[in-house]
């Protein structure tokens, strides 16, 4: 197992939440990564994943608040699934 770049680490974490059919949003990801990267780094990596077409976002109401939830884009699902299989999240 090799160390993933920050953007792929974020994508794998999103994939793991999606696999459990559990919604994931920025604050949740930032909390998951708080010991390994800053909130700004998580945000920049989310932006990069959007730009590359690896993730999609949608607005979802959770506990009375609207949050932008993330999911792996259909086209990138196989790629991220193979990366996740080789590099399970260590968080």
Q: What is the pLDDT along the chain (91 residues), one digit of tens a residue?
A: 568 899 999 999 999 999 999 999 999 999 999 999 999 999 999 999 999 999 999 999 999 999 999 999 999 999 999 999 998 765 5
Assigned domain for 1 exists: no
- pTM reported for the whole predicted model: 0.92
- How many domains are contained in the chain? 1
Range of the domain at 56: 6-86
What CATH number is attached to the domain comprising 31? 1.10.10.10
Distance CA 61, CA 68 (A): 9
């Amino acid at each position: 197992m090799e160390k993933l770049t920050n953007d792929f680490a974020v994508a794998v974490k999103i994939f793991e939440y999606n696999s459990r059919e559990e919604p994931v949003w920025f604050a949740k990801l930032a909390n998951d990564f708080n010991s390994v990267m800053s909130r700004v780094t998580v945000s920049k990596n989310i932006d990069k994943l959007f730009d590359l077409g690896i993730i999609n976002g949608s607005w979802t109401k959770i506990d009375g608040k609207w949050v932008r939830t993330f999911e792996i884009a259909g086209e990138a699902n196989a790629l991220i699934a193979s990366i996740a299989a080789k590099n399970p999240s260590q968080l």
